[in-house]
Amino acid sequence: MSVNITLLVVMGVLMACGIYLLTERSMTRVLLGLILLGNGINLLILAMGGVAGPAPLVDPNIPGEKYADPLPQALILTAIVITFAMTAFLLGLIYRSWWLSRRDEVEVDAEDVRVRRTGPRDSEGGDA
Amino acid sequence: MSWIASLAPVAVVLPLLGAAGTFLLRRHAVAQRIISIAVVAVVLALESLMLASVWDGGATAVLLGGWAPPFGITMVVDQFSALMLVVSSVVSLAVLIYATSQGAADGDDDGPVSIFFPAYLILVAGVSNAFLAGDLFNLYVGFEILLTASYVLLTLGGSPERVRAGTTYVVISIVSSLLFLTAIAMIYGATGTVNMADLAVKLGELPAGTQTVLHLMLLCAFGIKAAVFPLSFWLPDSYPTAPAPVTAVFAGLLTKVGVYAIIRTQTLLFPDDRLDDLLLWVALATMVVGILGAVAQTDIKRMLSFTLTSHIGFMILGVGLGSRAGLAAAIYYVVHHIVVQTSLFLVVGLMERRAGSSNLDRLGSLAKVAPLLAVLYFIPAMNLAGIPPFSGFLGKLGLVDAAVRDGGWLAWTLVVGGMVTSLLTLLAVARVFNRGFWRPASEAESPDPLLLMAEAQDGSRVRTYQVVADRPESRFSDRGDVAVLPSGMVWCTGALVAVGVALTVFAGPLFGYADRAADALTHPQQYIEAVLGGHDVPAHHGGSGTGSDAGGEH
């Protein structure tokens, strides 16, 4: 199987940037990271379909193995729609989060902090 | 009876149509409720017929749109998927009626809560689609459908707490989905197909190293969804903040879809590339770390979320053993755990409603205030901890038996780990009973004033809402709903607890069924033939007549 090197390099760059942004604490950057990562994976699926060819509309003059593989394109189309829905939902969530706390960050879980602080007091000795 | 199985796409399409209908009728709460319950009930009836048709064995493939495998979308009904479908629908129906009674009691005719029913039906459709999927990409689509619905349900109402928990949950879920998608792309690059039956043949021909990479990627993606250690930290963080019915249905179904996918990966896709030792170590860590987290909690919902992740380890143990006995016990344990964990979350929802809190520091005297709740909590709690004769005990016995038959030192280590986990589970659930139900409310760290009032009445049949009504100066006087348990909610919880007990009563036939399903899983030829067998005559195999109604999914 031969692959397109430009496609692979672009995919690598998109994925690297996406993963870097994912590790940020700011929600907007996390979202951008997810979008880049999603697009990188779409390119990966495209690359996995093999070399480009004519559209797979049957033409008696073109031998079967010349056509582009249509299945990865169908998969990518579905993946794009799903990523679109995710992006829209996350944008809504980020806006709501900002509207509530005026901060574009993942907040600390208050209950986690409480459990950590009250560890000794919560021992079994009292009510055994 | 095999034509019944060819109606499988209806289990996905009907809830989706129902979701559309309830969305259009979002101003008519009663119509929404009727449609939702009717749709899930019809789907449950259909799936029960499918279960009956494969009771003794066999697998049926439905080719959507009449496309020949491995090119088109395939849905496969075999013993394992039929059982999972029925159990998931039983739980969905119980939780739906529970949520309906709660909504009816609270009188939420408008407001954002009307989105609950469409989102819930889409969740049901996604779960059905994931269980029926015969190709990896359709499995991915099923996951996405149920996850998207779960995002909406988890952040229902958009309170600060839910938005915080929802953000973590959404990001983690998307990352796991992207990992899954990457794995699909690479598998397609390596084999040129995404059909699972076709992959079962072609993946075995790949070099061993390539197989291991693809296998690990799939296991990571499914491991996040199934919440196995160390990929489980998101779950106790996000689940407890959701409304009680939502947490209950998530706890029952979402992680089990991940477990289902792991079982299919192990038995169908990579039967030769085992990675069993890795799974066994993961199972041990999942059980022990999860239950240690549960013991440390004071909030009951958080405690139950930790036991949920912990008990996923038992299922992974059965899968990791890889034997027929191990898989049979794992299947039985999945069924048991779906029902019991959901009932417990429903009971906690009732406790929260009755006592105003699910925090153990605020609870007490509940056994006197609400004796029925004490019974409803006690049965599934003992069931979860694995006390004989309940189904939890039978499932764990099956797993221990399979591990002992395996005989390796790692299997024996897991037997010990499983015992310790069971004991600690008993400690965790008994602590809830001691502190929440048994002790007087006045001994609680910061007791809820409502419970103190109830205790002060000192009657044999204390009705707390009368206490509230009698004392208009209390902080609950403006809430007419507090401390009242709608009978629908109690009945549903009771029914689900009864189903949990029935798993013990009918353990014989059920274990026999699980054993036959495990046999079919360890011999995937039947599955492969059901899908690819009609390859020479693509036009009429299974039910191509039903193909047109769900063909446009990609």
Q: What is the pLDDT of residues B375-406, one digit of tens each?
A: 889 999 999 988 888 888 999 999 999 988 88
pLDDT at position A1 is: 58
pLDDT at position B356 is: 74
What percent of chain A stands above pLDDT 90? 30
Q: Is A78 close to B141, i.e. CB distance below 8 A? A: yes
Confidence of residue B544 (pLDDT cuts 50, 70, 90): very low
pLDDT for A94-127, tens place per residue? 888 888 877 777 666 666 677 667 655 544 444 4
Q: Is B148 close to A85, i.e. CB distance below 8 A? A: yes
Confidence of residue A14 (pLDDT cuts 50, 70, 90): very high
Confidence of residue B256 (pLDDT cuts 50, 70, 90): very high
Q: Of B446, B449, B283, give the one whose Cα is nearest residue B356.
A: B449
Amino acid type, B355: A
Confidence of residue B72 (pLDDT cuts 50, 70, 90): confident
B63 torsion bin: left (phi>0), alpha (psi -120 to 50), beta (else): beta
Contact A11/B at CB under 8 A: no
Mean pLDDT: which of B215-219, B273-277, B535-539 is highest? B215-219
Q: Of B504, B526, B530, give the one whose Cα is nearest residue B516.
A: B526
Which residues of chain B lie closer than 8 angstroms to A112, CB-CB?
A: 237
Of B158, B182, B554, nearest to A96 by CB-CB distance is B158
Q: Helices marked H in B296-370 — which ranges?
A: 300-321, 324-355, 366-369
pLDDT at position B177 is: 92
pLDDT at position B368 is: 78
pLDDT at position B457 is: 61
Per the CB < 8 A criterion, the answer to whether B349 and B248 are in contact is yes
pLDDT at position B456 is: 66
Per the CB < 8 A criterion, the answer to whether B158 and B287 are in contact is no
Q: Give the three-state DSSP class for B77.
A: strand
Tokens of B496: 């689900």
pLDDT for B106-159, tens place per residue? 655 444 567 888 999 999 999 999 999 988 999 999 999 999 999 988 888 777
| A51, A75, A91: best to mutate for the B interface, most B CBs within 10 A | A75
For residues B82 and B253, give the distance between their C-alpha atoms in angstroms, rounded to a whole number: 15
Per the CB < 8 A criterion, the answer to whether B98 and B106 are in contact is no
Confidence of residue B180 (pLDDT cuts 50, 70, 90): very high
Contact A48/B at CB under 8 A: yes
What mean pLDDT is predicted for residues B11-15? 91
Per the CB < 8 A criterion, the answer to whether B346 and B248 are in contact is yes
B192 torsion bin: left (phi>0), alpha (psi -120 to 50), beta (else): left
Among A51-60, B46-55, B113-122, the range scoring the smallest mean pLDDT is: A51-60
CA distance A105 to chain B (A): 9
CA distance B347 to chain A (A): 22
Pairing of strands B74-77, B60-63: antiparallel
What mean pLDDT is predicted for residues B17-25? 90
Confidence of residue B540 (pLDDT cuts 50, 70, 90): very low
Q: Where is pLDDT greater, at B29 or B213? A: B213
Which residues of chain B lie closer than 8 angstroms to A35, CB-CB?
A: none
Which residues of chain B lie closer than 8 angstroms to A85, CB-CB?
A: 148
CA distance A61 to chain B (A): 24
Contact A109/B at CB under 8 A: yes
For residues B224 and B253, give the distance between their C-alpha atoms in angstroms, rounded to a whole number: 14
Contact A32/B at CB under 8 A: no
Between CA B21 and CA B29, with CA B24 as vertex, the angle to 5 degrees is 85
Mean pLDDT value across chain A: 82
For residues A57 and A70, give the distance between their C-alpha atoms in angstroms, rounded to a whole number: 10
Residue A8 confidence (pLDDT) above 70: yes
For residues B338 and B250, give the distance between their C-alpha atoms in angstroms, rounded to a whole number: 10
Residue B543 confidence (pLDDT) above 80: no
CA distance B61 to chain A (A): 21
| A109, A116, A121, A123: best to mutate for the B interface, most B CBs within 10 A | A109
What mean pLDDT is predicted for residues B528-535? 76
Contact A17/B at CB under 8 A: no
Question: What b/e readout covers A56-94, taking b as 16+ CB neighbours within 10 angstroms?
Answer: eeeeeeeeeeeeebebbeebbebbeebbeebbebbeebb
Q: Is B170 close to A93, i.e. CB distance below 8 A? A: yes
Mean pLDDT value across chain B: 83
pLDDT for B304-343, tens place per residue? 999 999 999 999 999 988 888 999 999 999 999 999 999 9
Q: Is B163 close to A97, i.e. CB distance below 8 A? A: yes
Q: Is A115 close to B151, i.e. CB distance below 8 A? A: no
Q: Give the three-state DSSP class for B74.
A: strand
Cα-Cα-Cα-Cα torsion B157, B161, B167, B172, nearest 10 degrees, comes to -120
What mean pLDDT is predicted for residues B195-212? 87
Residue B475 confidence (pLDDT) above 60: no
Of A79, A97, A112, nearest to B167 by CB-CB distance is A97
Q: Is A93 close to B166, i.e. CB distance below 8 A? A: yes
CA distance A106 to chain B (A): 7
What mean pLDDT is predicted for residues B442-462? 65
Residue A10 confidence (pLDDT) above 60: yes
pLDDT at position B455 is: 66
